[in-house]
Amino acid sequence: MAGVSRCGFVALCGKPNVGKSTLFNHLMGTPLAATTGKPQTTRHNIKGILTEAGVQFVFVDTPGIYSGRGRRLSRMLNANAREALSRVDVAAFLVESGVWNDRDAQVLEDLREARVPVILCANKIDRLGDQSLLLPYFAHLAEHEFLEYVPISARTGEGCGVLKKILAEQLPEREHLFDSKDLSDRHERFFVEELIREQLLVQLDKELPYASHVEVQDFKERGRHVHIYANILVERVSQRKIVLGRGGERIREIGTAARQRIEQLLERPVMLRLHVLVRQKWQQNPKFISSYHGGV
């Protein structure tokens, strides 16, 4: 592709907890998306911009698509994911190696409705004991007529170089849409909020599954340091007590881990202060729900 300028949108899609955000971060080479191993970690269509040798990828990390109606927030996440699929040039459809179920079939149906070219990515091959099982697995799925079948491990990076090459070949020949130094169209504050929320999910597990929201209130650069003040919103007083922990121990642990992740992203020392506030039924509040809306 020497001398050819290519640029396009690539959706990373699949059912919840299949490794989309891990793949997104690996392809980007930096932790832009929150990764926890838990469903509904990704709540936004996050765009990552990668420019290499005349090719500009705009990767879109979509929320996992859920079946059923669920809460208003879940319905919005589904709408975000489906909207993203309608506007991309190619989709990398992640499934777990050796696994195919109704939730995978639902995502494939959404891809067909969007009329987007699809590359099947069999993820987590590092967990597959016998990789010779991949051939019959791909043969079983051949009826769906994917463009390519690519075995990968988003965690270790195995096969990701091959995937990137195949994706590049599917992008249209056109001028780049973003500056070559851009990593995303999102502000740093957004990614700070995502990394704080990541630690809430990691450290609180089932105690506070998805009833939290993070808002950065202040983001100031002072010399080499960045001073960040953020609010964590929960729905009940009991949830606030869970986040704080006995004597504030839990919130300090969350803050320490989040700060380390933020410093990795910003490549600068960070001073992070977190406050936990109660906002009843925030998941039903149109103001907060609208913040999760957005396509490609």
β partners of residue 96:
123
Is 257 within 8 Å of 203 (Cβ atoms)? yes
38 burial via Cβ count (<10 Å: 0-12, 13-18, 19+): middle
Instruction: Point out the residues of the chain with pLDDT beneath 50.
Output: 1, 36-39, 41-42, 64-70, 293-295
> Which among 188, 187, 185, 128 has a CA at the least distance from the CA of 152?
128
Report the pLDDT value the prediction gives residue 171, as an integer from 0 to 100. 96
Using the structure block, give the residue that is written with the tokens 């039903």.
284
Report the pLDDT value the prediction gives residue 2, as an integer from 0 to 100. 52
34, 123, 210, 255 from 200: Cα distances, Å: 11, 26, 9, 9
- For the chain, give every residue range classified as CATH 3.30.300.20: 188-290
Report the pLDDT value the prediction gives residue 283, as an integer from 0 to 100. 66
pTM given for the model:
0.69
pLDDT one-digit tens code per residue, 19-69: 888 898 899 887 776 654 444 544 556 788 999 989 999 998 776 444 444
Report the pLDDT value the prediction gives residue 69, as an integer from 0 to 100. 47
Report the pLDDT value the prediction gives residue 66, as an integer from 0 to 100. 46
Q: Give the Cα separation of 212 and 218 in Å (integer).
A: 19
Report the pLDDT value the prediction gives residue 62, as an integer from 0 to 100. 72
Report the pLDDT value the prediction gives residue 39, as an integer from 0 to 100. 47
Report the pLDDT value the prediction gives residue 45, as an integer from 0 to 100. 64
- Check: CATH 3.40.50.300 for 6-170? yes
- For the chain, give every residue range classified as CATH 3.40.50.300: 6-170
The CATH architecture that domain 188-290 belongs to is: 2-Layer Sandwich (3.30)
